[in-house]
Amino acid sequence: MANSPVYGATVEDIVPVLPAGIFPATFEGIESATNDQGAYWLWRFIARNGDEDVEITATSSPRITPRTKASKWLAGMGVAIEVGTDIDFGSLTGMPVQLVVIINEAGYSRIESVLPYPQQQQKKPKEG
Instruction: Please indicate whether residue 106 or residue 30 has the higher confidence score (pLDDT).
Output: 30
Instruction: Please indicate whether residue 24 or residue 118 has the higher confidence score (pLDDT).
Output: 24
**Burial (0-12, 13-18, 19+ Cβ within 10 Å), 38:** exposed
29 within domain boundaries: yes
- Owning domain of residue 102: 21-116
Phi, psi of 69 (to 5 degrees): -60, -40
Q: What is the CATH number of the domain that holds 111?
A: 2.40.50
Percent of the chain, pLDDT > 70? 84
79 within domain boundaries: yes
71 within domain boundaries: yes
Average pLDDT over residues 109-117: 94
Write down the pLDDT at residue 118: 84
58 within domain boundaries: yes
Write down the pLDDT at residue 102: 95
77 in Cβ contact with 7 (< 8 Å):
no
Write down the pLDDT at residue 59: 93
122 within domain boundaries: no
Q: Give 23's contacts (C-beta < 8 A, 6+ positions apart).
A: 47, 48, 49, 98, 99, 101
Which amino acid would we find at residue 5? P
Write down the pLDDT at residue 124: 53
Q: Is the confidence at residue 123, as pLDDT, over 80?
A: no
121 within domain boundaries: no
CA angle 43, 20, 39 (to 5 degrees): 25
Digit-coded pLDDT (tens) for 8-61: 666 555 567 899 999 999 999 999 999 998 999 999 999 999 999 999 999 999
Q: How many CB atoms lie within 10 A of CB 70?
A: 20
Write down the pLDDT at residue 66: 84
15 within domain boundaries: no
52 within domain boundaries: yes
Number of domains in the chain: 1
